[in-house]
Structure 1
C-alpha cells in the first residue's frame, strides 16, 4: 500500500496485505507484532490475532536428525527437525510447500490436529547446500483447548454468514477447514472462505467458526516487443518516454511477454500479466505489425482520452513484466510462488498472472494489489488522481506500479506462497517499506545514492507522498527504529523500514560499487546486485509475520548463505546507524554492532 503521508496526512494509495498462544492482556509492543485492527465492510471493525513468531539463525548451520543420510528428503528433514526443535510429535507437523533456491533450500510447514491444519501456526526451515539447518521460524502453539474437529455448522451457512458480514460473494475458490488460534489461547475450528467484491476492492479470506457460525478472523489479500514507455529507471512522465525494442528477458520469460508457450497475442496480455481497462477483453492492441505498442501520451488532455488509455495500459504492462523478469533472475521463480499462467513444469502453481486494471472506476487517488495464494492471479488496480487538471494516471508513474507489484512478491515469498504472512501491524508496515525500497532500487543508474522521493507526479508535488525523502542524511530523514514508538499505521511504519533499507543499499554500493547490468546479470559482485539478492533471499528465510528484528536477522543470515558472511559488518553498521543494532528491541534503539565490526 502506498499512502500519501506528506505532512502526516493519509490518502491511501494501496492496501497491501496478503497473510505459543498468549492470553490477553498484551502490551503495546507485543500487540504491534501480533495484532492488526481492520476496518471491514459495513462499518465492521475486527482486531485479528496472529501468534508471535520466533526466529533463529544458525550461521554456517547446525545438524538435524537426518543429517547423516545421503541426500535426505527436504520434506522429511524439515518435519523431523521441526518436531525435534519444538518438542512436538512429528505427526502434528505437515509439510505445505518448499523449493531449492541458489543459496538455500526452503521448507514451509503447518501445525495440525487430527489431520486438520492450523491457519496461523506455521513454521519454516532453511537448509544450506551442505545439508545443515541455517534458520528456523515458528509460530506453533500449545492451545489451552481445541475445538472438536467435526464441524457442526454446514458450509453453506458459513458462506452465507461471510457474504453478509463482508459485503461480497464467495468467489468459488474451494473453501477449506482449518484451525485458527485465538487471542485467549484456544484453537477454533473454522470454515475458510474467500469473499470478493471487485467494485468495492474487497478480497478477503474469512474464518467462520465451524461450531458457532461467527466471524473469527480475516486475511486481507489486498495491498491497498516495441513499447513506448517510461523505462524502468525513470519515475515520472516528465523524465521522458522512450520506445524500447524487445525489452523482454527471455531467461525469465522464455516465450516472451505475449505468449504462454502455446497461445500468442498481439495485445497487452501474456504469460506474466494482462493490462486492461474495465474488462479483461478491453486491451491495447499493437499499433502496427510485429508487436509495436507505440502510443504517445498527451498530458494536456484527460487521461481517459483513447491514446492516453493505450499509453497507460502499455506502460503498466511493460513495468509489471520488467519487474517479473528481474526478480525472476534473483529468485522469484515458479517454484518460489511467482505470477505466471504457464510455469513450464518448473514448480509452483500456474494460472496466476498479474491482472492490471488501468483507470479502474472503483476509486480515485489510490492503487492496490491483491495477493491470494500461489495459483490465483495477483490483482493490481490503478486509479486516476484528481489533484490536478487534467487528472493524472497512476499507471504512468513507475514507482507506484513497482510499489504495488512488490506487494505481490513480499506476500508470496514470506511464508511459502500463502499470502497470509504479512498480516500484523508491524509486518504489514514492512510490506509498505519493501515496496518503496524496490521502487528506489529500480531507478538507480549509477553508484550515486541521491535522496529518493515517492509519488511526485500524481500529486504534482516535489515532496511526493511521503513525510520525508529516503536519505542517508539523518537531517533530511530522521526516521529510525525508535520512531516506531510513535507510529502505528502501516504506511508510517513502512517509511521507517524503507529508509533503513535505503541506508543498507547505500552501504553495499559504497563497499562494492554499482553494476549497470544488474537487472539481467545477477552474477556480479557489485553492491546493487548483492542488495537485491539479500532482499529476496531474506524474504524466503524470515518467519510468518516478521518483525523489524527478525527481518534484519534474515538479511544477516541470507548473507551467510550466499556470500559466507562477507557483508556481515557492512550490514550491521547500516542497520545500527538507524537504531536497529544488536541490542535493539521493543522499538528501543541500539547502535551496537557485533565484536569485530
Structure 2
C-alpha cells in the first residue's frame, strides 16, 4: 500500500507497538519484531503474533551432513542441515518449497508435529554452488503444550466464526489443519482458510482454534507492441507521454505481453497481467488501431473517468506492470521463484496467477494497494482516484505508485518461499513498504547522478510528495536512522527509514561502480545499479521469514558474499552504518561501526 502520511491515514493501516524481543522495551517498540495489531472489522482489533526469527549467515559457506554423498537433492540437504543445526528429529521438519537460482539454491521448510505443519514456525536454508550452506533463518519453537491433533470444532463452524469476525466470506481456496504457536508458547490446532470481501478489498488467511472456535490470528494478504505511455523511467505526467514500440523483453516474456495461454489478445490482457475497470471480461482496453496499437492521448483538463483518460490509464498500467515483470524476471523473480504468470511455460512454480489490476477501483480513493496470496493465486492490484485536485487525478498515471504496489508482490513472494505470509510483523511490514519505494526509485534512475527522490508528487500536486522526507544521502534533508524505527508505530513511517537506507546503499554502489543505461534488460553488467538490484532480489530470497532491519542487512551482506565474493562488503557496511545500522546496532539503537579492514 502507498499510504499518504501528509494528509490522511488510510483505513487499511494497522496501528502497532513494536520492538526487538531482546530489547529493553520503549513505550513504542516493545513488540516491534514479533507482533502487529490489526483493525479487522467493526472497529475490532486483533493482535497477531510471530515467533522470534533467528538468522545466521556463513560467508563462503559451511558443510551440511549430506555434502559428500552423491545424488542428494537440495531438499534432502536442507532438511538434514536444519535437523543437525537445531537438533531436530526427521518427523519435525517438512520441506515446503524451493528453487535453484543462478548462484543460490533456496529451500523453505516448516516445523511439524504428527505430520501437521506449524503455520508460524518456518525456516529457510540457502545453499551455494559449492553445495555449502550460506544462510539459515528459522522461527522454530519448543511449545510448552500442543493441542490434540483431531479437531473438535467442525470446519463449517470455524468458517462461520471467521466470516463474522472478518466481515468476509470463505473463498473456497483449499483449507488446512495446522498448528499455530501463540504468544504464551502453547501450540493450538487451527483451521486455516481464506476469507475475502471483494467490496471492501480485504483478503485474509484466517486461523481459527479447532477446539475453542476462536479466531487466533490472520495473515493479511493486502499490503494495504505499440503503446502511448509514460515510460517506466519517468515518474510524472509532466515529463511527457511517449510511444514505445515492442517493449516486451522476450527473455522474460517469451510469447510477448498479450499471450493468454492459448492465443494473443488485442486488449490489455496477457500472461503477466490483466488491467481493467470493473469487469475483467468487458472492462479492458482494446487496441486503438491494428497490430496492437494502443494510442490514447490523455487530456489532463478532463476528469480521469472520461473514456480517453480511462483508456490511457489502463494502457499505462498494462505497460508498466509488464515492464516490472520483465525487469524483476531478469534479476531472479522467475516462475520457479514464485512470480506472477498465467502460463509458466514449464519452468516451475505454480501458474494461473497473473496480476489482476483494477483501475479507478470504486472501493476507495486517495490510495492504492496490492494483495499477495500464495504462489498459484493471482496477485491483485487496486488503483484509486485522488481527490485533492480538480479535476481529480488517477494514481495509475504516476508510475511510482503502481511500481510501489507491484513490489509488494515481489517482496512478499520471495520472502519465505511463495507463501505471502512472512512480512506480517510491524517491522517486517514496514520494511515491505521500504522495499516498494526503493524499487520504484530504481526504475526511474537514468544516470549516475544521485538526486533526492520524492514519492507521489503528481497525485497530490505537491512537490514535497507523500513521504515525510525526500530520500537523500544528506542527513540534513533526511535525518532518519535505524533508531528512528524504534520510535515509530506505523508501517509506512518505518518503511521510510528502510527505503532511505537503501537509497544510501544505491548511491554508494553507483558511486563505486558507475551506472548502466541498459540495466532494465541486461543484468550481466558490473555497474552499481545492476549490482544493487541483484542484491535487492537475492537478499529477499535468503532472508528469514519475519525479517528485521538487522537480519535484512545481514542478508544483503551475505548476498554480496555469494554473488560477488564479498567485493562490495565494505561499501555496503559503510552505507548501512552511515544510517545507524553498523556492526553493533541492536534494539533500535544506532551504531556506526564497520568491520575491521573497512
TM category (shorter chain) comes to over 0.9
Tell me the CA shift for residue 445 of structure 1: 0.3
Partner of 1:39: 39
Change (3 A) 1:349 1:26: farther
Matches within 5 A, 1:433-582: 433-582=434-583
- Which shifted more, 36-45 or 325-334? 36-45
Counterpart CA distance in 1 for 2:428 and 2:324 is 22
Tell me the CA shift for residue 5 of structure 1: 2.0
Change (3 A) 1:459 1:50: same
Matches within 5 A, 1:294-305: 294-305=295-306
SS of residue paired to 1:464: coil
Matches within 5 A, 1:150-549: 150-281=150-281, 282-549=283-550
Tell me the CA shift for residue 160 of structure 1: 1.1
Partner of 1:92: 92
Counterpart CA distance in 1 for 2:145 and 2:8 is 41
Partner of 1:109: 109
Q: Is the 8 A contact 1:23 1:184 kept in 2?
A: no
Tell me the CA shift for residue 263 of structure 1: 2.2
What's the CA shift string for 1:2-58, capped at 9, x where partnerless?
A: 12123xx54339769xxxxx9999945451000000011111100000001000000
Counterpart CA distance in 2 for 1:261 and 1:148 is 45
Q: Is the 8 A contact 1:13 1:368 kept in 2?
A: no
Counterpart CA distance in 1 for 2:8 and 2:126 is 38
Q: TM-score, normalised by structure 2?
A: 0.97
SS of residue paired to 2:58: strand
Tell me the CA shift for residue 72 of structure 1: 2.2
Partner of 2:147: 147
Q: Is the 8 A contact 2:93 2:111 kept in 1?
A: yes
Change (3 A) 1:555 1:24: closer
Instruction: State whether structure 2 residue 580 is matched by structure 1 residue 583.
Output: no
Counterpart CA distance in 2 for 1:65 and 1:411 is 31
SS of residue paired to 1:39: strand
Change (3 A) 1:340 1:350: same
Instruction: State whether structure 2 residue 2 is matched by structure 1 residue 2.
Output: yes
Partner of 1:19: none
Matches within 5 A, 1:58-137: 58-137=58-137
Q: Is the 8 A contact 2:137 2:545 kept in 1?
A: yes
Tell me the CA shift for residue 91 of structure 1: 1.4
Q: Is the 8 A contact 2:261 2:342 kept in 1?
A: no
SS of residue paired to 2:199: helix
Counterpart CA distance in 2 for 1:572 and 1:254 is 38
Q: Is the 8 A contact 1:121 1:141 kept in 2?
A: yes
Change (3 A) 1:216 1:25: farther
The number of residue pairs the alignment matches comes to 590
Counterpart CA distance in 2 for 1:593 and 1:27 is 26
Q: Is the 8 A contact 1:2 1:13 kept in 2?
A: no
What's the CA shift string for 1:124-152, capped at 9, x where partnerless?
A: 00000000000000000000000000001
Partner of 2:17: none
Counterpart CA distance in 1 for 2:572 and 2:144 is 41
Tell me the CA shift for residue 567 of structure 1: 0.2
Counterpart CA distance in 2 for 1:210 and 1:25 is 34
Unaligned runs of 5+ in 2: 15-19
SS of residue paired to 2:84: helix
Counterpart CA distance in 1 for 2:549 and 2:461 is 32
Q: Is the 8 A contact 1:274 1:280 kept in 2?
A: yes
Counterpart CA distance in 1 for 2:188 and 2:324 is 40
Counterpart CA distance in 2 for 1:325 and 1:11 is 33
Counterpart CA distance in 2 for 1:191 and 1:24 is 31
SS of residue paired to 2:33: helix
SS of residue paired to 2:280: strand
Counterpart CA distance in 2 for 1:293 and 1:95 is 46
Q: Is the 8 A contact 2:21 2:34 kept in 1?
A: no
Counterpart CA distance in 2 for 1:512 and 1:26 is 41
Partner of 2:9: 11
Q: Is the 8 A contact 1:14 1:367 kept in 2?
A: no
Q: Is the 8 A contact 1:287 1:294 kept in 2?
A: yes
Counterpart CA distance in 2 for 1:140 and 1:462 is 47
Counterpart CA distance in 1 for 2:76 and 2:107 is 10
Change (3 A) 1:30 1:120: farther
